[in-house]
Amino acid sequence: DKGQELLVEVLKEMPGKKGAHLTTYISLAGRYVVLTPGRTINGVSKKIESEEERSRLKEIMSSMKYPEGVGYIIRTVAQGQNKKDLSKDLNRLLRLWKNIKKDIAKLPPYTLVHKEDDLCLRTLRDYYKSEVSEVIVDDKDTYSKIMDYMKIVSPRDTGKVKLYKEKRPIFDNYGVEEQIDNIYINNVKLKTGGSIIFGPTEALISIDVNSGRAKSSKDVESMAFSTNLEAAVEAARQLRLRDLGGLVVIDFIDMRDKKHIRAIEKTLREELKKDRAKTDVASISKFGLLELSRQRLRPSIESKSYVPCNHCLGRGTVIGPGAAALSFMRRIHKGLIKSGISSVVATLPVEVADYILNKKRHELVELEDRYSISILVKGDLSMPPGGGNLEFKTEDTGNK
């Protein structure tokens, strides 16, 4: 009705200029349970396949008390959890919903009532499992926040949270920096010598599997199978890392053995079970093509980190100022590990320099104080997007 107030939830950001996807079906996600105010559904994640475990979890949840009109969905990570852990998670969500209702009563329309936890806590909530051996954090405030969260959701695992204190940047130390760079490269190398090539378009995402070996191989079928097997694992991993959603077509190397074809399909389906996004996988066609759909949870990594550019030589995008600035900040940090550095001069595209000086000034000052050096950031109008130059100077020799 006209003038009626509605409580809505943003389900997901939409790509391009499309508006956000809204719903009046509210859901509040916890570690083990998703609360569904307004819907009295009592569901269990489809990824929990054991009927015995599904029944056990339903029995635990049915023994608890709920306000009228509130339902729940049991998350995959709840497998094997006891009543105490589930009850603690549920009660936390019920308190949150109670507070939201109080806020609704006193706030005007068009007001943000509640937003999810920050990235670190969402990552723990959605991806942390008991099999994880360590959670390593390089920021004291974030470390404290994570410890507080773990004390609530998994007190026995707080010992796994470690504060990183090494001089070498954490991403560089664990090889994450290189993996971040690889997210933006369409050609992904495989250990078998082959590769998979991503070709995202408006309509679909194509993934082409190449053997990278001579066609005169004595056992072409064996080579095709081993390459396709690794490609299936890596394709599923890259879809998660890149946040690619929609229709995906994988062009596998042709195989004749039906057992090999079925094995590739099975491997891909098993790997996609690790994905939070819903997927629907078809069979490999006679042309060697496999179609699958992946739920679009958010805009892809590439669409968030890159901006349209006229200087990309046909690629269509270049790295955006924010992502470029973060990359240069990490490179500066890495360069300062070397002894004897007295100053750093960073000559960057104007947009990148402005981003660092306006939004990363605090981090710059911290690096200067920590290493007792000076850092000069200069914007150069003639420098193309994606360009940049760092000069590390010493007291004795000047540039380094």
Kindly tell me if the per-residue pLDDT of 382 is higher than 50: yes
Looking at the fold, whether 290 and 348 belong to one and the same domain comes out as no
Which residue has 């000052």 as its token pair?
A: 365
Structure tokens at 136: 């390593």
pLDDT of residue 289: 95
Instruction: Give dist(CA 289, CA 269) in Å, integer.
Output: 15
CATH of the domain at 390: 3.40.1260.20
Q: Which residues contact 185 (CB under 8 A, 6 or more apart)?
A: none
CA distances from 10 to 19, 31, 308 (A): 10, 20, 26
Kindly tell me if the per-residue pLDDT of 300 is higher than 90: no
Looking at the fold, whether 48 and 95 belong to one and the same domain comes out as yes
Looking at the fold, whether 194 and 284 belong to one and the same domain comes out as yes
* Residue 312 resides in a domain: no
Average pLDDT of the residues in 319-344: 91
Worst-scoring range by mean pLDDT, 22-26, 214-218, 297-301?
214-218
Looking at the fold, whether 203 and 273 belong to one and the same domain comes out as yes
Looking at the fold, whether 143 and 181 belong to one and the same domain comes out as no
Instruction: Give dist(CA 36, CA 43) in Å, integer.
Output: 10
Quick one: pLDDT band at residue 216, thresholds 50, 70, 90?
very low
Looking at the fold, whether 193 and 288 belong to one and the same domain comes out as yes
CA distances from 159 to 61, 136, 147, 170, 221 (A): 29, 11, 9, 19, 48
pLDDT of residue 126: 82
Kindly tell me if the per-residue pLDDT of 146 is higher than 90: yes
Looking at the fold, whether 110 and 135 belong to one and the same domain comes out as no
Looking at the fold, whether 247 and 217 belong to one and the same domain comes out as yes
* Residue 236 resides in a domain: yes
Number of domains in the chain: 4
Instruction: Give dist(CA 175, CA 186) in Å, integer.
Output: 19
Please give the order of strands across the beta sheet that includes 195-200.
Answer: 187-189, 195-200, 205-210, 246-251, 289-294, 279-281
Q: CA torsion 277→283→287→292, rounded to 10°?
A: -10
* Residue 301 resides in a domain: no
Looking at the fold, whether 89 and 156 belong to one and the same domain comes out as no
Instruction: Look up the domain containing 66 and give its range.
Output: 9-116
Looking at the fold, whether 184 and 275 belong to one and the same domain comes out as yes
Quick one: pLDDT band at residue 399, thresholds 50, 70, 90?
low
* Residue 172 resides in a domain: no
* Residue 16 resides in a domain: yes
- Helix 51-62 to helix 83-106 angle (10° resolution) is 50
Instruction: Give dist(CA 137, CA 143) in Å, integer.
Output: 6
pLDDT of residue 314: 61
Q: Which residues pair with 208 in a beta bridge?
A: 197, 251
* Residue 125 resides in a domain: yes
Which residue has 């008390």 as its token pair?
A: 65
* Residue 309 resides in a domain: no
Structure tokens at 237: 């991993």
* Residue 311 resides in a domain: no
CATH of the domain at 70: 3.30.230
Looking at the fold, whether 278 and 333 belong to one and the same domain comes out as no
Q: Which residues contact 363 (CB under 8 A, 6 or more apart)?
A: 329
